[in-house]
Amino acid sequence: MDSVLGFPVPVMAGLFLGLVSLLAAVLLWWDGRRVVAPTTAARRAVRHASLASGAAALPLVVGLGLAPMYFVGGLFWFDGHTAAVLPIASLLGVLGVYAAGEATWPRPQGAQRLARLTVRTVEDVAPRGLQRLVWVWCAAIATVSAVFGLLASGPRSISRVIALYQAHTVGPFPGWLWTVPILVATMLVVVLLDIALRFIATRLAIEDVDEGWDMWLRRRVARRILRTVQAVLGFTLAGLLALAGLAYRWLGLGNGAGSHPDVPISPEHVTAGNALLLVALILAVAALAAALWPARDIAPDCATIDEAVEARA
């Protein structure tokens, strides 16, 4: 059985996924502690939102955990292009869980049930900056996928001519075998993201709380979804660029399997590979920063909310 650092690969995979799951649970608990719920209905809503976030973290942990395990630890359960699409594919599960959470939102209870009817749109609840960033990542993934697909000499390889009728070929390279599944998954993610955000905007308002607090919770859930989606899309784009950068370095240095025994070094290919690796690092840091950047959306004052609720009562 294959091993990583002296431990069997399944054991290391289980430890990694367990640590990531524990970290996600701690972050959710800390995030929930910062919420001030003024009424019982508000507390039910916060618990429901936290439960949906916790359930949505499970497919995300699997998608983000197994892919590095393949490239670093050499998991043999699937091949490289399957591992590359796993992070984006996990977003389908994440968005499905969030959509189900919004569809099963707690309904008004009691003998007299009140629900405010207010017209809301996705633009009202979703931060525009994060929405634009998601579209930027999607456009960049589509562009990079098309360019790499055209540059590839095969479904997952790239070549350079070194002599008459002789070429040096290396892989893996993100050709069409890698990029087509990623493009399909990205389009599905965009569709499910729009559905989930529409559910957040159109669900019934929380009873016994002020409209401002209700909208704040909607924005909070929408922001959490958009941060997750943009982070995975950004990491996927960075992964494609990093893989291409490594392939260009191997191509320039003459590493890997080739058709010529003495492959001359190509500084141009090495430089291009280094540039792609640098851009990949910058994009990964940008995606992580956007996911962790503090939000300037302070919860409404509970004292004001309590006074408004008592006035309606």
Please choose, from the candidates 60, 56, 50, 131, the residue with its C-alpha nearest in 3D space to the C-alpha of residue 100: 56
Helices 267-292 and 128-151: angle between axes, nearest 10 degrees: 160
Q: pTM for the full model? A: 0.78
* Interacting residues of 260 by C-beta distance below 8 A, sequence separation 6+: 162, 163, 166, 167, 168
27 or 240, which is more confident? 240
- How far is it, in rounded angstroms, from Cα 177 to Cα 145? 10
pLDDT level of residue 303 (50, 70, 90 thresholds): very low
Task: State yes or no: pLDDT of 64 exceeds 80.
Answer: no
pLDDT level of residue 238 (50, 70, 90 thresholds): very high
pLDDT level of residue 192 (50, 70, 90 thresholds): very high
pLDDT level of residue 138 (50, 70, 90 thresholds): very high
Q: pLDDT tens, 269-302? A: 889 999 999 999 999 999 999 988 887 766 666 5
pLDDT level of residue 40 (50, 70, 90 thresholds): low
Least confident window among 114-123, 185-194, 207-216 = 114-123
Q: What is the pLDDT of residue 26?
A: 61
Domain limits, the chain: 3-106+121-312
Task: State yes or no: pLDDT of 63 exceeds 70.
Answer: yes
Task: State yes or no: pLDDT of 186 exceeds 90.
Answer: yes
21 or 209, which is more confident? 209
Q: What is the pLDDT of residue 293?
A: 86
Q: Which token pair is 291?
A: 């996911």
pLDDT level of residue 206 (50, 70, 90 thresholds): confident
Average pLDDT of the chain to the nearest whole number = 77
Task: State yes or no: pLDDT of 32 exceeds 60.
Answer: no
Least confident window among 62-66, 155-159, 212-216 = 62-66
285 or 35, which is more confident? 285
Residue 100: strand, helix, or coil = helix
Residue 102: strand, helix, or coil = helix
Task: State yes or no: pLDDT of 267 exceeds 80.
Answer: yes
The full length of the chain comes to 313
**What H or E segment, with its residue span, contains residue 3?**
strand 3-4
Q: What is the pLDDT of residue 259?
A: 45
262 or 72, which is more confident? 262
- Mean pLDDT computed over 226-245: 93
Q: pLDDT tens, 116-137? A: 556 677 888 888 999 999 999 9
Q: pLDDT tens, 83-113? A: 778 888 888 888 888 888 888 776 665 544 4
* Interacting residues of 93 by C-beta distance below 8 A, sequence separation 6+: 56, 58, 59, 60, 63
Q: What is the pLDDT of residue 141?
A: 95
How many other β-carbons are positioned within 10 Å of the β-carbon of residue 166? 11
Q: pLDDT tens, 166-185? A: 777 887 888 888 889 999 99
Q: Going by DSSP bridges, is the β-strand pair 166-170/3-4 parallel, antiparallel, or unpaired?
A: unpaired
